[in-house]
Amino acid sequence: MKNLIKSFFLGLAAILVATSCDMERDESIAEGNAKVNIFLIDAPADYDEVWVEVLGVEILPKGGNESNESAWINLPYEKNDQKINLLSLTGGASEHLGEVEVPAGEISQIRLLLGDDNYIMQNGQRLELKTPSAQQSGLKLKVDKPLNPGISYDLVIDFDASRSIVKAGNSGQYILKPVLRVVAEASATIEGTVLPLEAGPVVVSAIIEEDSVGTFADDNGLFVIRGLRGGNYTLVFTPNEGYQEKVVEDIITELGQVTKLDLVELEEVVEEEPEEGEGEG
């Protein structure tokens, strides 16, 4: 069996929300159970590709003994190729890791199970991601989310690669150092379009107080930022070096609502003409 990296949440956000606002019962769910769908989404990082080998997710119901492996409910990720390029999950795209029924009540913790084939691609070169031995035992993420019987819920894991991948000095090694963010309630969403496409790749960051959450706009300029708390956000659009950064303030979000922005248009960087006589010797 592979050396698993258990409960390794790489700068993730876990967002658990009911898929139905009116909490209608799903008759396909067994009596006394709730259903959990698990999705993986991205956060931006300054790499060409970020690949992780996902083996599955484990869920610990409230009251379960975390040291007892049989108390965890296992949901394996069953695709033949279990490696996922996180940076492909842009513009609202997500990877469905699976669904599982769990006893109604409350989820206490979750763990993400990764294999050891994790790496980044930069300038055509594959760079392995190393895991410090102290983290092999895993990091647990508390959820504490009540589940009503007969209701289907979405659990969204947001991988923040930019904060979790660190270059180790002059060794050339890249190390995984998890940064954790948890949203265990109904959440807000911001979505919109940023143009022109020539400004890509564009990083879109939503900032409120000391918190920042981000994503990439996709090939059509679309972006979606999930898992936000309600409040007043500032959005920062960071394009390639040929275009100017843009800041949009006072974006109001509400829990359970999608805030749709007007089209965001970025301007090219204009090089100043040298003054007459400048540079003459």
Residue 199 main-chain phi, psi, to 5 deg: -80, -10
User: Where is pLDDT greater, at 168 or 60?
Assistant: 60
In a 3-state reduction of DSSP, which class is residue 61? Answer: strand
**264-280: average pLDDT:** 76
User: Where is pLDDT greater, at 164 or 132?
Assistant: 164
- Across-strand partners of 95? 40
CA distances from 254 to 97, 155, 219 (A): 27, 19, 28
User: Where is pLDDT greater, at 254 or 28?
Assistant: 254
The string of pLDDT tens digits covering residues 3-12 is 445 544 445 5
Q: What is the pTM of this model?
A: 0.68
Residues of the chain with CATH 2.60.40.1120: 187-270
When pLDDT is cut at 50, 70 and 90, the band that residue 243 belongs to is: very high
Rounded to whole angstroms, how far apart are CA atoms 206 and 228?
Answer: 9
The string of pLDDT tens digits covering residues 35-50 is 888 888 777 778 888 8
Position 147 pLDDT exceeds 80:
yes
Rounded to whole angstroms, how far apart are CA atoms 258 and 191?
Answer: 7
Pairing state between β 264-265 and 188-195: parallel
User: Where is pLDDT greater, at 71 or 136?
Assistant: 71
Return the CATH number of 187-270, one of 2.60.40.1120, 3.30.360.10, 2.30.130.60, 2.160.10.10: 2.60.40.1120
The string of pLDDT tens digits covering residues 63-105 is 888 889 899 999 999 887 889 998 888 767 788 888 889 888 8
